Structures are given as structure tokens and as C-alpha cells.
Structure 1
Amino acid sequence: MLKICFSQIEVEPGHPDLNFSKMLQAINEAKANNADIIIFPEMVIPGYLLGDTWEQTSYLKDCLSYGEDIIAQSNDICIIFGNIAVDWQKKNTDGRVRKYNALYAAYQGKLIQPEKSPYPFAIKTLFPNYREFDDSRYFYSLQSLADELDTSVDDLLSPMKVNIKGQELNLGCILCEDGWSDDYNFSPIDILCKNYKLDMLINISASPYTFGKNNKRHRVFSKQAKDNQVPLIYVNNIGIQNNGKTIYTFDGSSTVYDKNGNIIACCPAYSGKNNYINLNSNEDYTPLPIPQNDDISNIYQALSYGIKKFLKDIHMKKVVIGISGGIDSAVASALYVNIIGKDNVTLINMPSKFNSETTKGLSSQLAHNLGCQYAIVPIQEVVDFTVNQFEHTDVVDLTTQNVNHLTISSFVKENIQARDRSARILAGMSAAIGGGFTCNANKAETTVGYSTLYGDQSGFLAALADLWKHQVYDLARYLNKEVYKREVIPQGIIDIIPSAELSAEQDVDAGKGDPIKYPYHDYLFRSFVESWQKVTPEDILTWYSENTLEEHIGCEKGLVAKYFSTAKEFIADLERWWNLFTGMAIAKRIQAPPILAISRRAYGFDHRESQNGAYYTRAYKQLKAKLLGETA
């Protein structure tokens, strides 16, 4: 029987000194508790999402130095941890020094070398070159090393042997993606278990939170343990890391599976602590229930944790939020108040002549319910001044000396309002109080650029921009019922039609609102960005012609017929939003604030895109002509 400590610590990316201190504290505690093995997450010393910090030689040396200090702590306890490994004599394919994403195991002050490895550490085999990951840019894989040595992964992938308490142990040590091999042409776990008799599998990870991902992980890792009849220990970190445009929370959720695939130990999400289990590879354990990770409470937990950590990292203590009487700003307000307290949140309502008494009243009610500082700053006078100034400004052609006068359209006036609110009032007010102001955009708006550059697109963080509109509503109800346990977000805000209130055509009292039909467009837009195989208008039109669209995108049945009476209307709507999604919306997303990732594909570095304009395939054009009775 071995006492194993799996240490779910908070990793501070780019700060190996802080991570070393946390590891040292965890090791001392594990020793005091007579643990035989302590396991830390992947890249626990340097952090994982570091961008081109990986190109700094001095940083690499610093991480290796702290790694040596951890190895020196392995007297009477086996320490397994992730760190960078460097072969200073070789180069990666980019011409820089050879780096490996490595797993180290140390005991009695010495490193344990995998049986067939040329190095005293295990090397990550499979690289997740998708979503937020960019491993091949920085690291060299075991697969690449095998190719270089003219051998196979089978010949290099081997366990680590260690004698603890007189027990000879074969530890099958892998790193993160090596356990997610379904879409690869081989499985590191299968290779290890086929070639060796293992006493346990150990997967150290740096795996960001994604809504619903933990449920899949439990299925995958449980099956691996059961199929190979060997316990599996999964150790993940907590904290937040980013790649500039996208911020990820790491939820931990470290788990131990017995040889039958049952969960026998599990760390609470976002809890940084040592966890212990007495493990016998042949023993049957009482299974624990599978944690549920796919409801709105998990989204709330990820958002709250991510916002709190991000504010701490950027040293921001006060926040200004522009509130409109709509659902997005209301949910943002309730979240921030719960995280940093009502005294640190200032809510500002900025009405124009188009804002109804209804929404102005709901804004006041929200502020009263939350107990925040609240200000009303009307914008109509300044907007009128700006429009008048533009219309009376002479624009001179210096070649012909002709004088032109601007005519300000209704659309431009809408944007002037949005920019006045953000660039003048919110930016000025946040600077005055020594804080920042939020971007309250949701994912549907972000998808099609339903926002104003330098207006409501601005802010220090877009905390809700990875949530679809229906998730924002779910979160509002959850905040009322489960977090505040009272109605802080007025029911009127939940019930009112969503509207920007920037013109008479968006009069909420007349039932006029946004052009986005969220019950349908949430799901249409989601198919554009979150599907593993990206959906295009060709796919959408094919499903529409087959009357299977709602089934494929997951929206409520009957909505297509409700919103579109003819194929012509449906196609016009599809092309309107596709043109925006692949057009101006990209430019807006490039200039948008950082987004807190929740979904399987968040905007920013997670969803890489270029400004190439809309494109329609030949098959789409042919099907469109057929549906419209035209000649392609």
C-alpha cells in the first residue's frame, strides 16, 4: 500500500519562483503526512501558456535551476513533476535550442530515467496543435525524436522503475494529450500497457476548463484504466493562463481511477491543495459518484474564478459598468459585485432620447438591488453637438477647392452614441476612480460584430463574450436563485426584449429589438465557430433543403418555419450573418478586449482567423439557385 499525494496547486505562468515556493510547501506537507509519492501537474514550474517567453534562454535556465532544487527535495519521497527540458546541443526545427515538454521523476535526490529513453525524463508524445495550444512551435515531441533516431515510439516509450518501501514499481508516466489519443494514429497508453506490466498510470496535465469536458475525460480515462486493469492518476493544475487574446481558467478536478475504472478520489474544482489516497493497484475500492460538470453552476464557477484571478493579476480593484436595463450588463454587474463587493463597483446609466422609461427604471432598480454606487449621465446633448459639428464642418478637396458637407446617417448616429458612452464616459469615469470598465458583449454579438468599435466593443475584459445569449439568461436566473438567493436582477430585465435602443426602430415598449433572433441565431452562429469540423453556408443550406437543420445545429424544432416563410428569406438571413461573421466582425474581434474562455472554441487565439472576406462554395451557389428556381 502506497500513500500518494496528488498536489493540485495553482500555477502562476511566467513565475517559476512562485511556483517553486508552492511546490516546496506542498512537498514539506506531504513528507509530514508520510506520503510515498507526490505528483504535480504538467509544466508546474514554468507555466504552460507563455507565448514566445519559451524563446528566452535565461528563462529556460531559470526553470531548470528550480527543477534541480525540486529534485534535491526528493529524499524519502518520490516527486513527479512537469518542467521544460532542454538539450543544449540540438536545435528544434525552427533553429532554436531543442526543448521538450517533460515529466521528471526523482527519488533519493536522483532522477529516474525511463527504461528506453535517451534522457532522464519522459517526453510528451502527442501535441495538441489545436485551440489554444501551439506545442509544435516550441517543443520537440517523442514522435519527432523517434523519427530522428530512425526508430519507433514503441522503442522509446517506457515506464519509470522505482523501489519504494521494498516495492519495485513500474510507473507509466504520460503528459496530458498522451491520454487523449482517440483522434491520433496510435495511443501512448496502449503502447505502455501492451509492452509492460504497470503498477499505475500517471497523467500530469495542464488542461484548461471547457464546459462539459470533464464528463468526457471521466469516460475516456475510466475506460483506459478499466481496459488495462491498472489504476490511473490524473493531476491537473488550477489558476488562469492566457495567450494574450484569450484567458483560460484551469479547474484542476484531479481524479484517481482504480483498475476497474471507478473514481476513487477527486479534488474539488479550483481548490489548490494536497490530496491523499492510499493506493493498492490490486485492491477494489468503493466507487465515488461521477462529478457533474455540465450545468450553469459550472459556468458560474469558472467565470467567477477567472474574473477574480484576472483582476488580481492586473491589480485592478475597482470596476465601472455601463448598464442599459438589458440582460448582458445586468449579469455582468451581478457577477462583479459578488466578486469584488458593491463598494468597488460603479454602475452608470447613459440614456439618450431613444432609451425608454422602462429600461431606465430597470437600470435604477438593478443598482438599488445590488447596493452599488450609481450614476445617470445623459448623452443626448453631447451626441447632438457632435452630429451638428460634423454636419457644419467644411470638408475641402485641396485639389479642386470644392467644399463638401457631411450628412450624418441614422446608422452613424447610432455609433456616435455607443462611442460617446464608452470612449468618453466609461473610460473617463473609470480613470477618475482608478479602475477599468467592462465589455458586456455576449458571444452572439461577438460572432457577427453586433457592436461598435471603440464603443461597446471596448473594455478591459469581455467576461461574457464566450456565452451565448441563452446562457446569459440561464446565468441571470442562477445568480438570483442560487448566488444572491433573491431577485437582484429584476425579472423585468429577464423578460424584456433585447434591444440596443439606439434608434426609434429599437423601441422596446413597441416590442422592437435586436435583429438577432437569439433562439435560432445562437445555434446557427455556434455551428460556425464551435463545431470540430467547421460549418459553412453550404452545410447550412444542405440541411435546410433536407429539413434537418434544427436537428443538426441543436435549436428548437419549428423555429426555421417561424422566422422564415420562404427559401429566399432564409438565404438572405444566412448570407447577411455569414458576410458579417467573415467580414467586419473579424476586424472587430481582432481589436476586442481579452475574452474569458468557457466553450469548446472561444474567440481570440483559440479561434484563429484571417481577414479574407466572405466566401461561398460552388456547391452552395448551385443549391441556392436550385432553391430559388434560378440558373446557377
Structure 2
Amino acid sequence: MVDNLKIMLAQLNPTVGAVAANSDLARTAHAEAAAAGADLLVFTELFISGYPPEDLVLKPAFVDACQEAVKNLAELTGNGSPAMLITSPWAEDGKLYNAAILLEDGKVDAVRFKYDLPNYGVFDEKRVFDPGPAPGPINFRGIRIGVPICEDIWTEETCETLEETGAELLIVPNGSPFERDKQDVRLNLVVARVTETNLPMIYVNQVGGQDELVFDGASFVLNADRSLACQMPEFEEAMLLTEWTRGPDGWVCAGADTARQLLGYEEIWHACVLGTRDYVRKNRFESVVLGLSGGIDSAVVAAMAVDALGPDKVHCVMLPYEYTSSDSLEDAEACAKALGVRYDVVPISEPVAGFLNSLGPMFEGTTEGVTEENIQSRTRGAILMAISNKFGSMVLTTGNKSEMSVGYATLYGDMNGGFNPIKDVYKSDVYALASWRNQSDGTGLEGPARRVIPERIISKAPSAELRPDQTDQDSLPEYDVLDDILDGLVESETSLADLVAKGHDPAVVERIQHLLYIAEYKRRQAAPGVKITRRAFGKERRYPITNGFRDKA
């Protein structure tokens, strides 16, 4: 009977659909595990396909490629090499499963299927996968290992079944996306499962960006006494060798590395940076371009882009019009200089005049207003897209969640772009992130340390500068009020009556609800962006565009 075990955890960054590249990552990890003397190498959920593969797994040729890759990887495990617990879509008997596969002695030794398929929030696995039967333990060198997969540990049933059928140790491959304060939720969840089963648990989680999701890694191990044996870093690829000993009370993991946990705005910043970096690079762009207005949103996005890609990959463009203040011109230039990026100024007066002249006969006799303001924004959007087309840089758009909630954005104007790092960040948090970044020493980031955003950008009143002396508060409540209302309406589905009971003005609450609902059509056409909150717009919060319902305060 084996009484000592070395398990290597692979917290890596696969790419959805890149079967060959993901297989190469697995091969490299296996070589490292072998050099470290590991007995078993463990990967995250659906590693071979990348997670989440969505409808890609409905393509039989893709599933065949994944299964063939797994079988080829099995060849690495002969002649005393480490075994692998790899993960992949798996077709069997006319059904398609989310599977964990044990590779040992040069062959597929055991297969287990995900039992509890999530179908809420950003997850819709029931759309593409069949649920497996309740899994029993895998026999690995005389050790009975339970392998619940991600959602399987979010309820009691699967882990209890594994414990009742003789599991000695639980290993959980995860594709658990980041959201604010989620690490504590995960830890408390694992504590509950460990307490119920009295079994130690290895929680290994994917890292990297995939479309609007970011996976933060932060893999960890809890012993049966609920002590934290090790904690891997957040937002970084890492490999960790864990050493296990069988004692009179079962398996115990010796203490290993414990990475510092990121907190608050530091965690959110790193999530936005990683999501931006992976979206740009995995979609084969080399650089980005964005409009730098001298305002807080574009300054924060520029800083995130530099932290993600480096200053040489970021191009900032100021697009002034007659309403652009001298402060904005100075602040944009100062921000670009602090970040070390290329900075150009492209005035928009002539193209705006061209549009207005062309439309003049049709608009004659009408009152000038938001239409003419939006022409400015759409001109800027067209220029940024032209720069993108000419030089091959992805356009980053810069609207925050507060603005996107109430439609304070111009479709085909400032909403133009391929990705939005702060799409799911409320305006109040944008300010807090800017202040945090100005205090950061830049550890783990590509940009310079501290003071990358001029203080006046943070302190001045926000304005779209589409008319003289305009401020955001001409049209919207103060952002602390707006964001509190939106937090209730969007994140919690709070009734208007309850929001009024909190002290909000009934007329303001009803107006914000109305703006939120009528802006749905804009949000459907918005660029993707990093999920930060509990209910991001898009796949997570799915409201109808045509919607006649209104709550009453």
C-alpha cells in the first residue's frame, strides 16, 4: 500500500479551441512534473478544449480532436512517468460529457463525468453536455480518489456519495470564473465539503481570460482538519508540487507555498488587466488604440492596457473639438506621458462640419441638440476604427457600467471598439481604481509604478464635453447615488419600493429604471468586457429589449 504521494497542480492558461496548443501546455507541464518526481499531475476543468467551450463542443470534429489529443497524451505516462488527471469533452454511447480522465501506464485508465451541470449566470452546460452518473472514486495505485468536477462541489450530494463509496482524497478540477470577493466564497464552500466528508480536498482552478470571463486561479489545498496547506497565486500561471502522507486519520498534505491573496481594488485591477491581455493576444492582435479624452474612464483604460501589454503596444489618440477644454488637452497629454505611450492629436472639427453641412438641408428648421452632440462622438468612433483598420490595432472602448446601465453612451460612437476593460465597473469604482493604481508599485504589471493618472483627472467633474460647460450631473444623479440605485436594480433585482425605503427619491428611482430598460438595445451591441460583478451585462443579465414592464416606487 502506498503511504506517500506527490501531486503536482497545474494552474495554467489554456485557450478555447486550441487543442494542439493546449496539448503542448500539458506536455510541458508533464515534463516539469516528471522532473519534480510527481506521481500525479492534475489539470483544471476541460483543459484540452479550453473552458468554457460553449457550442464548439456540438461540433463532432472538435470533440474527436479533443479525445484523440487525450489518447496521445496517455503515451507520456508509461515507464514510471507521472500519471495525469486530464480533462476534456468526452463522447460515449451517444452522449457528450464534461470529463476527467486518468492517464496511467500509457493508456486511458479511468474516466469520470461531471454530475451536476450548472445552468445559471454565465453557465449553460445543460445546453451542450449530458450529466454523468453519480461518480465513484478512481483507484490510483491503491488510493481511492474522488474527482468531483467544479459544480459538483457546490452542493452536498456528490462529495457525500464519494465519501460513502470509499474516497480517501478529493481532487476538484475547476473552471471557476472570477467575480468580486469570490475567493472567500470558494474557500467557505470547500470548508463545508471538507467538514461534511472529513476528507482533504485539492481545489485546482484555471487561470486566464476567455471572452468576458477571467479565471483567477488561486488554487488551494485544505486538509481534513480544514487547515490551509497551500495557496497558489491569483491571475498567474503556476505549478505546485504537493506532498501527501497517509496517517492514522487519513491523508495529510504537508505545508507548501502560500501566495499572498489580492484584496479589494488590487484584485479587480489585476482581473481587468489579465482579461484585456488575453482577449487581445488570444485574438491575435499585437497592440491596441483608444481615445484618450482627459477624463477618468479613458485614463484608467489606458493604464490597464499598458499594464496588460506594455507601453509600446498602446496608442492613445486625443480627438478634440471646440468644446474640449484646455484642461482636458493638458491632462490627456500628461497621462500619455506618464504611461510612456504613443500619443497623437487628431482634431475632429472638419469631419464634424462635413457631416453637419451634408445634413444641413434635411435638419433645417430643427433645434440643435443631442443629435449634433452624437455626431461628435460618432466622428471620434469612425476615426479610431480607421486607425485600427490601417495599423491593425484593436480599439479599446472606455464606457463604465454606470453609463452603460443608463445609456449614457453613443451607439457607433464612443461605444465603438473590440473590447472594454471596465465594462462591468461602476463609475464610483473607476475612481477608486485610479487612486489605487496611483499608489501601486506595479508588481506583476507591465506599466510604470505609481502616479500614472494625473491627479486632476481624478478630482475634476466628469464631462462628455459635447456642449459648453457640460457635466455628467446635468443628466444623471451624483454617481454615488446612481451607483447605489443601479446596484439594487442590476445586481439584486431590488424593488423600487425598497430603494425608496433606503432614502432614494421615488422620481429618480423610476427614471433610472426607465433608462436602464430602454438602453438594453445599446448594450446588446456593446463590445465584450471583463466580468467583475455578480451580474454582468450580456450572458449573465439577459433582459428583453422589447419590455413593457415598469415597477413603481
TM over 0.5: yes
**SS of match in other structure, 2:315:** strand
Whether contact under 8 Å (2:485, 2:499) holds in the other structure is no
Corresponding residue of 1:447: 405
State the aligned residue count: 538
Structure 1 vs Structure 2: percent identity of aligned residues? 29
**SS of match in other structure, 2:148:** strand
Distance 2:204 2:408 in 1: 41
**SS of match in other structure, 2:183:** helix
CA drift of 1:79 comes to 1.9
Per the alignment, do residues 347 and 79 of structure 1 end up closer, same or farther by CA in structure 2, a change over 3 Å counting? closer
CA drift of 1:267 comes to 1.6
Corresponding residue of 2:381: 422
Distance 2:151 2:101 in 1: 17
Q: Does 2:525 correspond to 1:591? A: yes
**SS of match in other structure, 1:189:** helix
Corresponding residue of 2:76: 73
Give the alignment partner of residue 223 of structure 2, picking from 258, 265, 270. Answer: 258
Q: Does 2:22 correspond to 1:25? A: no
Structure 2 spans left out of the alignment, 5+ residues: 443-447
Distance 1:576 1:301 in 2: 34
Q: Does 2:40 correspond to 1:37? A: yes
Q: Does 2:347 correspond to 1:378? A: yes
Corresponding residue of 2:465: 501
Instruction: State the TM-score, normalizing by the size of structure 2.
Output: 0.91
> How is 1:291-440 mapped onto 2 (pairs within 5 angstroms)?
292-393=261-362, 405=364, 407=366, 409-423=368-382, 425-440=383-398
1:73-116: CA deviation from partner (whole Å, max 9, x where unpaired): 333333212111112x43xxxxxxx1011111233234444xxx
**SS of match in other structure, 1:497:** coil
**SS of match in other structure, 1:612:** coil
CA drift of 1:287 comes to 8.9
Distance 1:63 1:289 in 2: 34
CA drift of 1:505 comes to 5.4
Per the alignment, do residues 241 and 159 of structure 1 end up closer, same or farther by CA in structure 2, a change over 3 Å counting? same
| Aligned CA-pair RMSD | 2.3
Whether contact under 8 Å (1:262, 1:287) holds in the other structure is no
* Matched letter for residue 190 of structure 1: E
Distance 1:353 1:224 in 2: 62
Corresponding residue of 2:445: none
1:588-621: CA deviation from partner (whole Å, max 9, x where unpaired): 111111112222222222322321224125xx3x
Give the alignment partner of residue 114 of structure 2, picking from 110, 115, 124. Answer: 124
Corresponding residue of 1:249: 214
Per the alignment, do residues 366 and 223 of structure 1 end up closer, same or farther by CA in structure 2, a change over 3 Å counting? same
Distance 1:179 1:341 in 2: 39
Whether contact under 8 Å (1:579, 1:614) holds in the other structure is no
Q: Which has the larger radius of gyration?
A: 1
> How is 1:461-610 mapped onto 2 (pairs within 5 angstroms)?
461-482=419-440, 483=442, 484-504=448-468, 506=470, 515-531=476-492, 534-535=493-494, 539-544=495-500, 547=501, 549=502, 560=504, 570-583=505-518, 585-610=519-544
Structure 1 spans left out of the alignment, 5+ residues: 91-97, 114-120, 146-155, 395-404, 551-559, 561-569, 625-632
Corresponding residue of 1:269: 234
Distance 1:326 1:452 in 2: 16
Instruction: State the TM-score, normalizing by the size of structure 1.
Output: 0.80
Distance 2:208 2:309 in 1: 18
1:440-461: CA deviation from partner (whole Å, max 9, x where unpaired): 0001111111100100011111
1:464-491: CA deviation from partner (whole Å, max 9, x where unpaired): 1111112211211122211343422111
Corresponding residue of 2:545: 611
CA drift of 1:367 comes to 2.3
Distance 1:530 1:289 in 2: 32
1:514-572: CA deviation from partner (whole Å, max 9, x where unpaired): 524211111211222223xx33xxx122342xx3x26xxxxxxxxx4xxxxxxxxx232
Whether contact under 8 Å (2:300, 2:430) holds in the other structure is yes
Distance 1:233 1:47 in 2: 20
Per the alignment, do residues 32 and 436 of structure 1 end up closer, same or farther by CA in structure 2, a change over 3 Å counting? closer
Corresponding residue of 2:66: 63
Q: Does 2:154 correspond to 1:180? A: yes
**SS of match in other structure, 2:332:** helix
Q: Does 2:181 correspond to 1:231? A: no
Per the alignment, do residues 110 and 349 of structure 1 end up closer, same or farther by CA in structure 2, a change over 3 Å counting? closer
Distance 1:42 1:517 in 2: 43
Per the alignment, do residues 283 and 207 of structure 1 end up closer, same or farther by CA in structure 2, a change over 3 Å counting? closer
Whether contact under 8 Å (1:40, 1:235) holds in the other structure is yes
**SS of match in other structure, 1:140:** coil
